[in-house]
Structure 1
Amino acid sequence: MDEAAEHFAQRFEEHRGHLRAVSYRMLGSLSEAEDAVQEAWLRAGRADRTGVENLGGWLTTIVARVCLNMLRSRGTRREAALDVQDYEYVRVPDPVLGPVDAADPEQEALLADSVGLALMVVLETLAPAERLAFVLHDMFAVPFDDIAPIVDKTPAAARQLASRARRRVRGRAPSPSTDRARQREVVEAFIAAARGGDFEALLALLDPDVVLRADAGGLPTTKLVRGARKVAEQAHSFRRFAPLNRVVLVNGMPGIVGVSEGRAFSVLSFTLSPNGTITELTILADPARIPTLDVSFLPG
């Protein structure tokens, strides 16, 4: 590697964390985010970098283009796979897990930089160009003049994409409590009620309009459940798994991971209202994705 290439490699590594954060919000997949960053590295390495003054912005543009192509390809595959009438697609993004009492600065930084899983679920419902405009502008303050060429629109049209996405996010994403201590109390109460088979205690933790989204990787076991009693019935039916539940941080807030023989088999995240009731439960139990999650931080 010559000196110029080595210098560029070092500069790229300085931006890798930012590019991974952009890709994760764009794709909702940790593995695909890594793939997107790697593809950005290859494209940037082949490109003419003469005259690039803002390397971070330039790299962000490259990785955004890669993510947009991946989202469009994913949408095509999804439409081909879903030949079901009146089916509301449920895809739970990959969660970012960490120890609830932890002391790993790198993991803490990753968790602090993550966004709630409930918001990530809503982002999955946006069209690819809307998602790109919203993520780049609202989450990373990228100007619409820079977003426009990526989506092949005018800056005014790019602004409209972000505005449309923002309305959908505000309409569907809950306004969560950010009280981590209170959320841990609720999570532990939820585990205790499930272990004890206490249906009424489960019901008392839930908002009347609570929504449960479960992604098990296939239509027969993927669910969207609304209402406190129906959600409590779902939780009660899986009480046999409660002894295997561990409290962890899921995208920065207390949640649950189910672990058997050192391997995860499910992740449950909670969204609390300001008054402390559960407004959303999000479950990932996709057997194709769950084994890729790192739970090595948990005690044996």
Structure 2
Amino acid sequence: MTTPSVPGDGRSDPGLSVIMRERRQLMNLAYRLLGSVADAEDVVQETYARWYAMSPEQQEGIESPGAWLTRVAGRICLDVLGSARARRERYVGEWIPEPVPERAEWVEGRPGGMAVDPAERVTLDESVSMAFLVVLESMTPAERVAFVLHDVFRYSFAEVAEIVGRTPAACRRLASSARRRIHASQAPATPAVQRAGIVRDFKKAWEAKDIDALIGLLAPDATATADGGGLVSAVLHPIEGAEQIARYTVEIAGRAPYLTMLERTVNGQPGLVAQQDGVTVMVIAFDIAGDRIKRIWAVRNPEKLRPWTVG
């Protein structure tokens, strides 16, 4: 098993350089498997803890440290996914994957004044769009791991089998099942410039409390999902239908007149960020089909907004 790496200079400790330069790869893998930056960080930390729990002799006996780290991280993710399903079923309201900002938009002021380590950032592409992650949530843990490792990270089914604990043929079937779910959920591609324009128009209509304009931007069967967490109340069920979403959006605008709406990149796609007194209180992701908004996800759980919040 091989993993793409960023060359290190290795001047102080060649072994440490080889191990630590895999951090970005592990973070990208764990986030796609778990849909949570916080959980991905925990997985990466646990993976390195297991590496350093071995003796130097044991470490030297491992031919490919990067492959070893990936196998361990994948197995930990598989275990986490099994327990996460039960936790998310008890979640108050709908559970939405944790949104990530574009690299340039990561806030440098983290809690405690720590800057964001570039190795802890998630690389953005189509495999981290909110629509993609939401479909992954519908899969079994084994399907998700097999699909992400093979189709996204290009590992062979023999390598995937080592992580999932099934035969290569079984892993091939798991990935095929997951692929069918992905294809069934995909809307025709809308050019990036057009997507950004639709989101900008949605922002303007929201700020103007223009129900008719909002309805015109939404697909008739559109759905909007919002989560909660902490002191933030949850919307227990998705809102369905263009008119219902438009009226709820205007209601929110009326209840929170001091929100500042900003156009931002959310999981690699045009989105919106709502701030109050400089603090991010909501991140909104969109799924756009043609010239209409098909799905909206509004993340309000403060724990999921850490990368977006001014320290």
* TM tier relative to shorter chain: 0.7 to 0.9
Structure 1 spans left out of the alignment, 5+ residues: none
Q: What is the CA–CA distance in structure 2 between the aligned matches of 1:53 and 1:100, rounded to whole Å?
A: 36
Q: What is the CA–CA distance in structure 1 between the aligned matches of 2:121 and 2:233, rounded to whole Å?
A: 35
C-alpha change, 1:130 and 1:285, in structure 2 (3 Å) is same
How much does 1:250 deviate? 0.5
Q: What is the CA–CA distance in structure 1 between the aligned matches of 2:264 and 2:17, rounded to whole Å?
A: 34
1:57 aligns with 2:71: no
Of 62, 70, 76, which residue of structure 1 is paired with 2:80? 70
C-alpha change, 1:101 and 1:259, in structure 2 (3 Å) is closer
- Taking structure 2 as the reference length, what is the TM-score of the superposition? 0.81
Of 229, 249, 262, which residue of structure 2 is paired with 1:235? 249
**Identity fraction in percent:** 33
Q: Partner residue of 1:146?
A: 159
Q: Partner residue of 1:38?
A: 45
Matches within 5 A, 1:79-228: 79=89, 81=90, 90-98=94-102, 110-112=123-125, 115-177=128-190, 179-217=191-229, 221-228=235-242
C-alpha change, 1:126 and 1:109, in structure 2 (3 Å) is closer
C-alpha change, 1:99 and 1:62, in structure 2 (3 Å) is closer
Q: Partner residue of 1:263?
A: 279
Residues 227, 299 of structure 2: 8 Å contact kept: yes
Residues 100, 249 of structure 1: 8 Å contact kept: no
Of 260, 281, 290, which residue of structure 1 is paired with 2:296? 281
Residue 236 of structure 2 aligns to which amino acid in structure 1? T
Query: Bigger CA drift: 259-268 or 223-232?
Result: 223-232
Q: What is the CA–CA distance in structure 1 between the aligned matches of 2:309 and 2:124, rounded to whole Å?
A: 14
Deviant stretches of 4+, over 4 Å: 99-102, 106-109
How much does 1:259 deviate? 0.6
Q: Partner residue of 2:113?
A: none
C-alpha change, 1:24 and 1:237, in structure 2 (3 Å) is same
Q: What is the CA–CA distance in structure 2 between the aligned matches of 1:17 and 1:31, rounded to whole Å?
A: 14
Query: What CA RMSD, in Å, does the superposition of the two structures yield over aligned residues?
Result: 3.0
Q: What is the CA–CA distance in structure 2 between the aligned matches of 1:9 and 1:247, rounded to whole Å?
A: 40
How much does 1:223 deviate? 2.7
How much does 1:142 deviate? 1.0
How much does 1:162 deviate? 1.2
How much does 1:296 deviate? 4.1
- Taking structure 1 as the reference length, what is the TM-score of the superposition? 0.84
Residues 255, 268 of structure 1: 8 Å contact kept: yes
Q: Secondary structure at the match of 2:238?
A: strand
Residues 96, 114 of structure 1: 8 Å contact kept: no
Residue 288 of structure 2 aligns to which amino acid in structure 1? L
Residues 214, 282 of structure 1: 8 Å contact kept: yes
1:294 aligns with 2:294: no
